[in-house]
Structure 1
């Protein structure tokens, strides 16, 4: 990962197809365009109706047809062909299965994305705020289309579990209430150029915010009606789960074997935690006791969200400074990462990538529930590495930087959770190996996070496939996994505020296959590294870990089966 100018190559016919696809997809999905920093679409929203979903599916189908008529010219092209066939092909499978019409969950469905896109919009000029006003005014039409898709799904017998419908109804109501709505507070803060907005712009923003609130009120009413047909059962079954697992991993895994591996991995991490607790406070100290003592340590405590933000930024800056030029040669534009408190209070922690020209930097967001006011640094240092460097920010920023080698679809528009989240967990372990978590308290934080990720492999597959409760964890009842057992299991394996934990569990129940992609992705990344090391040994060569990382990240975010083949 060189700090000099990135490698370049001549664009090919394959690149032209990929670039055209991104251009057309940005026009059909303006939220994606804003996410990627592609100008010209910030005033619009996507068509979320069945016809809009079908139009995007037709674009996927047509693009795959164009690729079939082209021969790859080099290795970059060959990977692009494989990656687009895998990604676009899965989009069509999801479309044909009706999955794209029924999307409704508490973290990543139109209920949230139509609101969250405003977090990424520029707000410096009057034109920026005019775009915001127009986009706010477009929310009623977008949500009307979304309701139409949910109705079509209901006609087909495809309704999200009642728990998700009710939670999303409450989210919509919060956005609909004038006093508490994000739309109210956001538009009230408009200061283009640091000045009061013109009267006409103020009126447009006020009208747009009111229209958005009313649209979410209508959505809440629709979800109340939808709940009558929503199933009580949270699990989606093996067929749907396998499809979503492939989507999130970009790989086909044996779900039964993965479930058993998750149980074994959980036991291994618990043993490592127990050893760390003894290192911290002496033999006989339990894991929970050690964590309670770490929480009580004033030297490891932060008060308030501003202190959290400042600590996140300082920790991130220190990591980048320490790694740049020694462990990694980090390009200058990638050395900037903004750490921010999100305007919402859902409990999520997430990363958003830089724009194509890095004018908008990569950002780490922390959405803190209103009831949470204290934070422990021992828990969160590994999170900063996960979201920042060498985690998501290095991975995503490095790919964006490769504009001379990779087309825009490879650089920016292709994101596979198992690849990205798997790398971020791999990066956490890597930072421990490099000595950044030698403090046993910080290492306990990393293990705490790894334990949660292993636990949710077990929980997610267990609930959605209706597997029997493991004997090891049967103290909360026998029979198949369900929400009450999952809640007790999660409480036993995750040491975090219950508001966070409740959100986490609902996320797993409503987004099948996504949560395990972190830990399973880490497993596959480690398998790829170990295979590369074994291959070097067979050739009689010393294994260069830094060279492996550089080669792997230069591929960009692709499905893990595609990455496996690329690394061969």
Structure 2
């Protein structure tokens, strides 16, 4: 693969940059590894908005996975004899050893060959990169056509890895394989994602030359054929080998929990804490329901809020406009008062995603901020009515002071952090834990004074607490708490439990349920991460006493970028 972007492009200054820190030997190793990742993962370059890789994909085959593993091994070898020059270096060294070491543990188990679930595996990622590609010029559409033409090679590599995983006895559960068959078929069908993308270029504002239009149609046809081949392979070859059982067991779960948290937690203690936290949130919900109407149950209060015309939105255009307006207000209120938000970070776009798979997510800005951070809502097919009371806290979670403030701060800190620190790490427990921490913080700061919005925040917190119970309980097959049933957890018992604790549509619930079963350890990382963030803050407050300043703590913590939660604690608690 070629890499046409010089390293200097990845570190071009943005307006208002602070003075640069001198690059150390450890920074040089980290930066070299980052450049290697851009070479091996061209779609990662697109995520960052770095030009030069617009039509390429990473090699998803076993050879490509081994190349990534060898890059990690080589980097760790180069770090062996280096000593930190300053505190920033100490965090970089800690983070690289923890993250790359876990990458190698995963590779040694072979789990990276068998990666397949309904939300975060190559089957979705190969398609999703198009959501981030520019569409402003004929050249942009030529890049889209070129990348669609390369979808078959990417899919073939992925199939090769799935075969290699099967040879090692590693195959995702039948439920996950079946869902990805449905997704792949949908991407490939007439009127599906690639068909629509192949025709969009001729219907937009850009006048495309005939050759580009032809390339788009040819690329779309190639991508559709590749996804049909993937669906056939999954259905005919992989599904017969897929186990019925969803639970992954303790050993694999403990490993994946470390990946998502950057910390090894006591799973039984955490499970029991999740049960108790769920009870606490429900009690708080009951109190807020009484504020909405005296004597109302949680369900009655939610129904009243759903029926309130002032809290209803009809259609995705109205949803998008409301998200954007609320996000803009939050940025204006936070900047310079509760958080340090440079001007270049204040632009945040809210968009409706081009898919209908469910879920709300954030994508970070390009490295030079020419493409802003974006909040995406993937609306399930057929859903056209939305309520603001549930989603006010979601906007804070995905935007400011949640993911946008967190991710964009790391991207902005080019003068302090090497590019690997800024752009190449994402630890779910640290990142999603921060976003839940931010939700509670907005309540503390008075932005959820309306009882309906506060009930929405508690509804989201209840969901995250329930996920700790469900995820650990089902995958480790633990005993069900008396309040929620009897015996040991099964997926079927877990579905009923989720239905009682997560107030979302049936389509969203089905998506979430399947996600938890296929992505063990990820869903609990939100609430566990919030717990660990709050513990770190309280430890720093206790240590600093009267000198403790919350805004300064947030600035110092966010300037670290996304690191494992043990690394975060070691960096902040002296």
TM-score (norm. length: structure 1) = 0.97
Q: In structure 2, which of residues 302, 305, 314 is the aligned counterpart of residue 303 of structure 1? A: 314
What residue number does 1:231 align with? 243
What residue number does 1:445 align with? 456
Give matches, 1:132-531, under 5 Å. Answer: 132-179=144-191, 181-190=192-201, 194-225=205-236, 226-282=238-294, 284-474=295-485, 478-531=486-539
Per-residue CA distance 1:172-203 (angstroms, 9 max, x = gap) = 11011122x10111221115993331111111
Following the alignment from structure 2 to structure 1, what is the Cα–Cα distance between the partners of residues 81 and 549? Answer: 39
What is the DSSP-based 3-state SS (H/G/I as helix, E as strand, rest coil) of the residue aligned with 2:370? coil
More divergent stretch after superposition (378-387 vs 170-179): 170-179
Per-residue CA distance 1:453-497 (angstroms, 9 max, x = gap) = 0000000001111112221100xxx32211211110001001111
CA contact (8 A) 1:312 1:339 kept: yes
CA contact (8 A) 2:313 2:387 kept: yes
What is the DSSP-based 3-state SS (H/G/I as helix, E as strand, rest coil) of the residue aligned with 1:302? strand
Deviation at 1:329, TM superposition (A): 2.7
What is the DSSP-based 3-state SS (H/G/I as helix, E as strand, rest coil) of the residue aligned with 2:337? coil
CA contact (8 A) 2:165 2:171 kept: yes
Q: In structure 2, which of residues 133, 149, 174 is the aligned counterpart of residue 121 of structure 1? A: 133
CA contact (8 A) 2:250 2:476 kept: yes
Following the alignment from structure 2 to structure 1, what is the Cα–Cα distance between the partners of residues 318 and 50? Answer: 33
Q: In structure 2, which of residues 548, 554, 562 is the aligned counterpart of residue 557 of structure 1? A: 562
CA RMSD of superposed structures (Å) = 1.2
Deviation at 1:6, TM superposition (A): 2.4
Per-residue CA distance 1:204-244 (angstroms, 9 max, x = gap) = 11011001001100111111121111111100000000010
Following the alignment from structure 2 to structure 1, what is the Cα–Cα distance between the partners of residues 400 and 448? Answer: 14
Q: In structure 2, which of residues 544, 548, 565 is the aligned counterpart of residue 543 of structure 1? A: 548
Following the alignment from structure 1 to structure 2, what is the Cα–Cα distance between the partners of residues 464 and 412? Answer: 32
What is the DSSP-based 3-state SS (H/G/I as helix, E as strand, rest coil) of the residue aligned with 1:546? helix
More divergent stretch after superposition (440-449 vs 4-13): 4-13
Per-residue CA distance 1:35-66 (angstroms, 9 max, x = gap) = 12222111101111111110111001101111
What is the DSSP-based 3-state SS (H/G/I as helix, E as strand, rest coil) of the residue aligned with 2:349? strand
CA contact (8 A) 1:348 1:367 kept: yes
Unaligned residue ranges in structure 1 (runs of 5+): none
CA contact (8 A) 2:247 2:477 kept: yes
More divergent stretch after superposition (507-516 vs 70-79): 70-79
Q: In structure 2, which of residues 50, 54, 57 is the aligned counterpart of residue 45 of structure 1? A: 57
Deviation at 1:159, TM superposition (A): 0.7
Per-residue CA distance 1:521-549 (angstroms, 9 max, x = gap) = 00000000111111122xxx342111111
Per-residue CA distance 1:73-128 (angstroms, 9 max, x = gap) = 11111110110111111000000001100000000001100000000011112221
Question: Structure 1 residues 544 and 236, CA, compared in 2 at 3 Å: closer, same or farther?
Answer: same
CA contact (8 A) 2:402 2:438 kept: yes
Following the alignment from structure 1 to structure 2, what is the Cα–Cα distance between the partners of residues 310 and 191? Answer: 27
Following the alignment from structure 1 to structure 2, what is the Cα–Cα distance between the partners of residues 479 and 263? Answer: 16
2:75 is aligned with 1:63:
yes
What is the DSSP-based 3-state SS (H/G/I as helix, E as strand, rest coil) of the residue aligned with 2:351? strand
More divergent stretch after superposition (426-435 vs 147-156): 147-156
CA contact (8 A) 2:138 2:206 kept: no
Deviation at 1:7, TM superposition (A): 4.6
Per-residue CA distance 1:240-281 (angstroms, 9 max, x = gap) = 000100000011100010000000000000000000000110
Unaligned residue ranges in structure 2 (runs of 5+): 1-14
Per-residue CA distance 1:265-298 (angstroms, 9 max, x = gap) = 000000000000001100x210011001100000
Following the alignment from structure 2 to structure 1, what is the Cα–Cα distance between the partners of residues 257 and 47? Answer: 24
Following the alignment from structure 1 to structure 2, what is the Cα–Cα distance between the partners of residues 6 and 373? Answer: 45
CA contact (8 A) 2:292 2:301 kept: yes
Question: Structure 1 residues 7 and 431, CA, compared in 2 at 3 Å: closer, same or farther?
Answer: farther
More divergent stretch after superposition (185-194 vs 523-532): 185-194
What residue number does 2:102 align with? 90
How many residue pairs get aligned? The number is: 558
Deviation at 1:4, TM superposition (A): 5.6
TM-score (norm. length: structure 2) = 0.96
Following the alignment from structure 1 to structure 2, what is the Cα–Cα distance between the partners of residues 175 and 193? Answer: 21
Following the alignment from structure 2 to structure 1, what is the Cα–Cα distance between the partners of residues 164 and 505? Answer: 38
Question: Structure 1 residues 192 and 76, CA, compared in 2 at 3 Å: closer, same or farther?
Answer: farther
What is the DSSP-based 3-state SS (H/G/I as helix, E as strand, rest coil) of the residue aligned with 2:159? helix
What is the DSSP-based 3-state SS (H/G/I as helix, E as strand, rest coil) of the residue aligned with 2:150? helix
